[in-house]
């Protein structure tokens, strides 16, 4: 059975994390993703550390099932090649600051004139409009503006930097993928492409429905540790164990909290779950209680108790976890040329019953598909050699 996105051709100008993560989702389900990389340097993740061989390890995690072509888009010949590739492409994805693709001559209006059905996605920190559009930023800055960072803190303490990139992936890559797929459906229905303007700040702000509701209804801006979901209540908290590890408790629902109270022999706590005058008392008791046993001992005690609990794991434990393994969330791809050996990959979180994510193309070497792709648009071996000699590819 053909994969759902088979026949969809994507030119991906992005680098590092958000854009490549987005295009990998689409590549996993059959899209032909062509990474368009600079002749000098290429994707910035290639130079990262730690390395697998001569390539940054992070590059492998977001670039499987793709092809790579190198192009000097500042040259006329490089632009011409891009235009030829775009003529029958379905999607262009870029991650530059607003205005850069216009200077390079590969912006939406230019590509739209060549291919009216193109879906052109710009993924940026603050979007293509608004007073911050040209402001530099990273994930930490986007979640700062979005209010997420200010709420990720213990009461009266400095906000804590999250361990993963919330805006880059959750606010950017995923929304870009959704926008592209919606726009492709629009092409199918209406016969014309459109521009997809994805902002990582927008995406991060969209993650605020619960806390925004508090503000919209009460008119008071919520603060860190003043909501049941961010540290106000003892029923939803992370507790340190005797061995310096942690257990998380997420017993929001009354019946789950009751189950937890029964398990620890504190019947009286059942009625106090949302009583703010009793939280300090319960916090103090539970903190002392959890420090009386190791994490392994708490795992043994709580196994089978329906109260939404979990051990806080490190990555070694995560990728050996039977649930993670059973869901195919870690596997190995082998370099067909042997240089990089077998590389562990994070699996696809999208599970389709009939057309699961493919595991076909090992992450490409920079410019690995130059000849293949240039020949597909009419270039001869002699012309390709000349382009390489002149630094166009």
Is 228 part of any domain? no
pLDDT (0 to 100) of residue 270: 98
pLDDT (0 to 100) of residue 231: 95
Q: Are 43 and 20 in contact (CB under 8 A)?
A: yes
Identify whether residues 147 and 17 lie together within a single domain: yes
Q: Are 73 and 82 in contact (CB under 8 A)?
A: yes
Domain boundary among 319, 354, 382: 319
Identify whether residues 82 and 200 lie together within a single domain: yes
pLDDT (0 to 100) of residue 330: 98
pLDDT (0 to 100) of residue 111: 98
DSSP annotation of 172:
I
Is 325 part of any domain? no
- In the chain, how many H helices and how many E strands? 16, 13
Measured CA angle at 238 (ends 315, 255), to 5 deg: 115
pLDDT (0 to 100) of residue 237: 98
Identify whether residues 246 and 123 lie together within a single domain: no
- Give the DSSP letter string of 260-281: HHHHHT-GGGGGGTT-TTSHHH
Domain around 100: 9-206+336-390
Token output for 116? 């009216």
pLDDT (0 to 100) of residue 32: 98
Q: At a CB cut-off of 8 Å and minimum separation 6, what does 131 contact?
A: none
pTM assigned to the model: 0.96
- Give the DSSP letter string of 333-359: EE-TTSSS-EEEEE--S---SSSPPP-
Token output for 333? 């791809």
pLDDT (0 to 100) of residue 246: 98
Identify whether residues 255 and 155 lie together within a single domain: no
Helices assigned H by DSSP within the chain: 18-28, 57-61, 76-87, 100-104, 108-114, 139-145, 174-190, 200-205, 209-218, 254-264, 279-290, 295-302, 315-318, 322-326, 370-376, 381-389
Token output for 171? 């606010």
Is 367 part of any domain? yes
Give the domain CATH number at 187: 3.40.50.10540
Give per-10-residue mean pLDDT for the chain (393 aa).
98 98 98 97 96 97 98 98 98 98 98 98 98 98 98 95 98 98 98 98 97 94 93 98 98 98 98 98 98 98 98 98 98 97 98 98 98 98 97 97
pLDDT (0 to 100) of residue 356: 98
Token output for 309? 């609990």
The two beta strands, 9-12 and 91-94, are: parallel
Identify whether residues 55 and 161 lie together within a single domain: yes
Catalytic positions, written as ranges: 168
Give the domain CATH number at 242: 3.30.1540.10
């Amino acid at each position: 059975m053909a994969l759902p996105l088979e026949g969809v051709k994507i030119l991906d100008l992005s680098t590092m994390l958000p854009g490549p993560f987005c295009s990998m989702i689409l590549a996993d389900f059959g899209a032909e993703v062509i990474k368009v990389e600079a002749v000098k340097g290429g994707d910035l993740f290639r130079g990262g550390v730690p390395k697998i061989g001569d390539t940054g390890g992070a590059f492998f995690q977001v670039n499987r099932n793709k092809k790579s072509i190198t192009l000097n888009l500042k040259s006329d010949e490089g632009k011409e090649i891009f235009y030829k590739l775009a003529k029958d492409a379905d999607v262009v994805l870029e991650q530059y600051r607003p205005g850069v693709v216009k200077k390079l001559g590969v912006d939406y209006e230019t590509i739209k004139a060549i291919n009216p059905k193109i879906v052109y996605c710009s993924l940026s920190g603050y979007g293509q409009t608004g007073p911050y559009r040209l402001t530099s930023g990273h994930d930490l800055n986007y979640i700062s503006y979005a209010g997420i960072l200010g709420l990720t803190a213990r009461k009266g303490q400095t906000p804590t930097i999250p361990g993963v990139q919330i805006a880059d992936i959750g606010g950017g890559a995923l929304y870009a993928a959704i926008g592209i797929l919606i726009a492709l459906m629009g092409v199918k229905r209406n016969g014309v492409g459109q521009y997809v303007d994805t902002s990582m700040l927008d995406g991060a702000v969209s993650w605020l429905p619960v806390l925004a509701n508090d503000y919209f209804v009460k008119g008071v801006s919520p603060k860190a540790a003043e909501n049941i979901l961010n540290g106000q209540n003892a029923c939803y908290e992370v507790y340190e164990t005797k061995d310096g590890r942690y257990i998380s408790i997420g017993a929001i629902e009354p019946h789950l909290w009751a189950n937890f109270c029964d398990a620890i022999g504190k019947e009286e706590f059942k009625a106090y779950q949302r009583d703010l005058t009793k939280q300090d008392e319960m916090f103090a008791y539970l903190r002392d209680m959890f420090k009386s046993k190791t994490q392994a001992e708490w795992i043994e005690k709580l196994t089978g108790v329906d109260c939404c609990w979990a051990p806080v794991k490190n990555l070694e434990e995560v990728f050996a976890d039977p649930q993670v393994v059973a869901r195919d969330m870690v596997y190995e791809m082998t370099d067909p040329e042997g240089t990089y050996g077998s590389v562990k990959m994070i699996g696809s979180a999208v599970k389709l019953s009939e057309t699961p994510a493919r595991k076909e193309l090992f992450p490409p070497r920079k410019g690995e598909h130059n000849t293949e792709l240039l020949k597909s648009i009419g270039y001869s071996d002699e012309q390709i050699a000349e382009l390489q000699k002149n630094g166009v590819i």
